């Protein structure tokens, strides 16, 4: 199957360690029975990504350890053909957007922008999560979202940390005037027979654990709230990871 592959597309390249590409390159050369000087088993490969993003994360690594882990320091980099995309197709080409695009570009290209920076006048600044939510999602808009599925189209908040996302969600949920449904996870610990005898973990403690890799212990929902699907439930019907949904109703199965 690998030898019959017509194209490989690899995204988010700048954020991954150079050893990943070298390992895949050697493996494909071996599987496809080609020389070590070939690239990816002579299978056409597209490596994409934004090179202005964060470098690969090296555990407890300094700048001296992080920079050499970048793909540009890989043994295969000089053999790659670099194609640069200079026009953003996802942003409408008008004067106001061009002004906004200019600021992020200056952060990368202008040496005077390194260190402490000042935000431009057209970027509004707020001090708390609640104030930001009030500006992006005023109360009238949240009231309309309960009745109309198109009210929140085109609005989103990007946050760096999961804790901040949780704060936004809780703040906006509290402001939506609809009946809240709280869905609690079933938490228990399965101890093997070899495990030493001990008291079972309290349910309250288990429900207080919220990790990024698992669903929350307590899921709060209201009719009208937007959701993002986290699994490929039915790709044929458009139910893929990242699909935006809206809650139309909540019922109990038992």
* Mean pLDDT on 138-142: 88
Whether this model's pTM surpasses 0.85: no
Residues 170-193 have pLDDT tens digits of 888 888 888 888 887 776 666 666
Those residues whose C-beta lies under 8 Å from the C-beta of residue 241, and which sit 6 or more positions away, are 229, 230, 231, 232
CA distance 149 to 247: 9
**N-to-C CA span, the chain:** 46
pLDDT at residue 117 greater than cutoff 90: no
Task: Find all residues with CB under 8 Å of 89, minimum gap 6, and list them.
Answer: none
SS3 234: strand
Q: What is the pLDDT of residue 223?
A: 83
Calpha distance 49→11 (Å, rounded)? 6
Residue with tokens 């402001």: 175
Angle between helices 162-175 and 129-136 (to 10 degrees): 60
Highest mean pLDDT: which range of 130-134, 151-155, 212-216: 130-134
Residue 117 contacts by C-beta under 8 Å, 6 or more apart in sequence? 107
How crowded is residue 126: how many other Cβ atoms within 10 Å of its Cβ?
A: 12
Residue 47 has pLDDT above 60, yes or no: yes
- Characterize the bridge pairing of strands 226-228 and 218-222: unpaired
Whether the predicted pLDDT of 29 surpasses 90: yes
Mean pLDDT across 228-233: 84
User: If you average pLDDT over residues 146-174, what whole number do you get?
Assistant: 80
Residue 254 pLDDT > 80, yes or no? no
Render pLDDT for 51-106 as a digit per residue (tens, 0 to 9): 877 888 888 888 888 888 989 999 999 999 998 877 766 666 666 666 777 777 77
Q: Which residue has the tokens 């934004």?
A: 50
Q: How far apart are CA 101 and CA 105, in angstroms?
A: 7
CB 224 within 8 A of CB 185: no
């Amino acid at each position: 199957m690998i030898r019959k592959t017509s194209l490989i597309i690899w995204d988010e390249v700048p954020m991954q360690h150079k050893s990943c590409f070298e390992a895949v390159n050697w493996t494909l050369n071996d599987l496809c029975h080609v020389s070590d000087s070939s690239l990816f088993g002579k299978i056409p490969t597209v490596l994409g990504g934004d090179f202005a993003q964060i470098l690969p994360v090296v555990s407890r690594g300094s700048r001296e350890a992080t920079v050499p882990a970048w793909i540009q320091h890989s043994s295969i980099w000089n053999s790659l053909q670099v194609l640069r995309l200079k026009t953003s197709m996802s942003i409408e080409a008008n004067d106001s957007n061009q002004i906004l695009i200019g600021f992020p570009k200056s952060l990368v290209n202008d040496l005077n922008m390194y260190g402490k920076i000042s935000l431009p006048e057209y970027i509004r600044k707020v001090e708390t999560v609640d104030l930001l939510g009030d500006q992006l999602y005023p109360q009238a808009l949240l009231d309309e979202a309960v009745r109309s599925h198109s009210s929140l189209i085109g609005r989103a908040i990007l946050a760096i940390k999961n804790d901040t996302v949780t704060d936004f969600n809780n703040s906006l949920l509290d402001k939506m005037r609809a009946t809240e449904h709280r869905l609690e996870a079933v938490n228990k610990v399965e101890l093997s027979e070899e495990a030493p005898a001990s008291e079972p973990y309290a349910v309250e403690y288990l429900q207080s654990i919220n990790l990024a890799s698992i669903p929350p212990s307590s899921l709060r929902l209201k009719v009208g709230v937007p959701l993002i699907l986290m699994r490929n439930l039915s790709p044929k019907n458009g139910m893929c990871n990242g699909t935006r949904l809206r809650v139309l109703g909540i019922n109990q199965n038992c």
